[in-house]
Amino acid sequence: MKKILLFTFLILSFTVSANPQILWEMDKHFGFDKNEDGRIDIPNTKEYVNPDGYGISLKIDDADEFRGPFSWTLTDSNGKTHISKTIFPRAYFTNIPTGQGSISCNFEQTTIQIEINPKNYLIAVIGDSYASGEGNPELQYDKSKPSIWADGGPGSLESINHLRGHRSSLAWGPQTALFLENYDPHSSITLIFLAASGATVQKGVIGEYSGVEDPFDLDPMPPQVDQLAELCDGREIDQLYISVGGNDVGFVPVATHLVVYSPSKKGIDDRYKKKIERLYDSIKRGVFDTPLGILMGKQFKPLPGLNGIADEYRKLEEELSKKVKVKEKYLLAYPCPAIPGTRLLEDFAPALGLAINGYDTEFIVNNVFKPLEVIKKEISKELNWNYVPLRLVDYQQHHMALDQPYKPEEYGKFIGNKQPRPWKEFKIFANNGKRWFRTASESVIVQGAGPDVDTPGVFSTSGTLHPNDLGHQALMHDLLFSKNLLPGFPNYKDIYDLADTRLAEQAK
């Protein structure tokens, strides 16, 4: 009799201790690979941005001792009721809108219920090569085929525009979207990725642009802002990430002039200093010496320069305000590939002995990057944008003159599955003193020079001086670290180890 009572007590205790709960999560809306080609799909279509609804997966936790059937009722934010009956303690609903709703489940004369609030955040990226991922193709160049850029998905023509813009899912924008997508099971991310290598505000962002590479001789791509408006179709953008301005002040002609303006054998003489002074004046006015442009096969057209870049940002804000709804705008700082005193681009034309010397790199830092960032910070305040400084990691410890982080021939192996590296893992690379920027010779090996060049050479590659894949991981973490990006997401204190003294100082 005692054994029977004890057995009954154990059964009752087990039954009472069971506490079934409904667990739910949203389907991911970014990061999938529907055509299974090893590349993340970036559709950039109206249907992707504005779907009929989203998938919701349900299950009952600690339900092994219960038996079906299970009757599920999901009431969505529009008041519509969705019903499903299952044998097992799991269910799946499609086309569920975002917003407050509820789920109930009946089984074995038991009813449990929870409130849900599925969310989808719309993130968009516009701008230039520092945002597109220039220098970091999805698949590496080899002699049998050109480098491959981002994928638009099954049967999508957007892959052609990804090629024209040299867009890569390894860039900081898609990597940030992946990080946020993987972080919270109760929300999902939609990404519009329109940044294009070579773009300026006028040429590409608010004006038409054929792209940095156009092997099919197509009509120009519409302005990125116009594409945003069409894709959103009235939907509000939660976060708009902007990286533009470098081409507007002349990053390319400045680098070209400095490579050719090598000092004489006497060193930094008055003649060389006068050339540099004229170049600084060109940077401010945006008008560069045309004879050198013709010599290098480039006719440098007038640009806004440092004196006019603020007005370009104002024009961009005017176009955005007229055409799209945006909650928050973020303008990212540029990571500088140089530190004063170092030599760069020695592999650009070694036979000619050309390079950017130590005096030149000091000029780049003090007369191009620093004044541009001052303007960007000031204009962000004026336009109510969020300026994102680079403060999480010290990019000066990863400048372009340092050793390569891996052999460029092993690029495909190193980038792996193209997923973002968590901070605890990335700290290893942040502290190893290797460079985060592409050299000319490395860029030739990684991405080649496009289909129009039979023998790729350093004069024709466009990946030079751009952040490599590790540089984009650093930029992703800087963006995440800048503030609590999305409502409901934990802020940097929950993601980054503030036991690190430097991080603790930056967080103050």
pLDDT tens for 259-301 read: 777 665 556 778 878 888 888 899 999 988 655 544 554 567 8
For the chain, the domains span 14-117, 121-507
pLDDT of residue 493: 57
Please state which of the ranges 196-200, 252-256, 460-464, 503-507 shows the lowest mean pLDDT: 503-507
Task: Check if the beta carbon of residue 136 is closer than 8 Å to that of residue 171.
Answer: yes
pLDDT of residue 205: 98
pLDDT of residue 349: 64
Distance CA 305, CA 248 (A): 6
pTM of the model: 0.91
Summary mean pLDDT of the chain: 86
Give the number of C-alpha atoms closer than 13 A to the C-alpha of residue 36, restricted to the C-beta side: 0
Residue 13 banded pLDDT, cuts 50, 70, 90: very low
Q: Taking phi first (over 0 means left), then psi (-120 to 50 degrees means alpha), and beta for anything else, what does residue 65 get? A: alpha
pLDDT of residue 486: 67
pLDDT of residue 237: 97
pLDDT of residue 177: 95
Q: Is residue 500 exposed (0-12), middle (13-18) or buried (19+ Cβ within 10 Å)?
A: middle
Is the pLDDT reported for residue 501 higher than 50? no
How far, in Å, are 192, 218, 289, 384 from residue 128 at the CA level?
14, 20, 24, 21
**Does residue 485 or residue 83 have the better pLDDT?**
83
265-302 core/surface letters (b: 16 or more CB in 10 A; e: else): eeeeeeebeebbeebbebbbbbbbeeebbeebeeebee
Residue 305 banded pLDDT, cuts 50, 70, 90: very high
Residue 250 banded pLDDT, cuts 50, 70, 90: very high
Residue 164's nearest CA partner among 122, 104, 204, 111 is 204
User: Above pLDDT 70, what percent of the chain?
Assistant: 84
Distance CA 274, CA 100 (A): 66
| Distance linking the first and last C-alpha atoms of the chain | 68
Q: Residue 334 corresponds to which tokens in the numbers above?
A: 């540029």
Tell me the CATH number for domain 121-507.
3.40.50.1110
The amino acid at residue 101 is: G
Task: For the domain made up of 14-117, give the CATH fold.
Answer: Immunoglobulin-like (2.60.40)
**Does residue 445 or residue 377 have the better pLDDT?**
377
Rg (CA), the chain: 27
Is the pLDDT reported for residue 480 higher than 90? no
Average pLDDT over residues 322-350: 89
pLDDT of residue 138: 93
pLDDT tens for 147-159 read: 889 999 998 889 9
pLDDT of residue 292: 53
Is the pLDDT reported for residue 10 higher than 50? no
Distance CA 338, CA 396 (A): 7
pLDDT tens for 14-49 read: 443 368 899 999 999 999 999 999 899 999 999 999
pLDDT of residue 155: 83
User: Above pLDDT 90, what percent of the chain?
Assistant: 57
Residue 352 banded pLDDT, cuts 50, 70, 90: low
Residue 432 banded pLDDT, cuts 50, 70, 90: confident
pLDDT of residue 140: 87
14-117 and 121-507 have identical folds: no
Average pLDDT over residues 230-242: 97
pLDDT tens for 354-402 read: 778 888 888 889 999 999 999 999 999 999 999 999 988 888 899 999 9
